[in-house]
Amino acid sequence: MQQKKSKTIATGILIANLLIMLFPPIHLGMAKGSMPMALTFFLGSGLILVLSMVVLRSLDASGTEE
């Protein structure tokens, strides 16, 4: 049950990041002439992805074992 929930969250994270980075209305709307808005999109979307990796790590049952 827990594993299924983790898998669903992981899939959701992948889809959310793909949408944020690739969906044209988002980047075209954010980068249309205002530098603060454009940087918010590029750095913000990057930061969201980095934080997503932190969430994925917390979901990882094996933790840091290699």
Cα separation, 31 vs 48, whole angstroms: 17
Q: Which of residues 36-55 bind another protein (CB under 8 A)?
A: 37-39, 42-43, 45-47, 49-50, 52-54
Structure tokens at 9: 């969250």
Q: Which of 8, 12, 14, 19 binds another protein (CB under 8 A)?
A: 14
What is the distance between the alpha carbons of residues 55 and 17, in angstroms, rounded to a whole number? 13
Q: Rounded CA gap, 42 and 21, in Å?
A: 9
Binding residues (CB under 8 A) for another protein: these are 10, 14, 17-18, 21-22, 24, 27-28, 31-35, 37-39, 42-43, 45-47, 49-50, 52-54, 56-57, 60, 62, 64-66
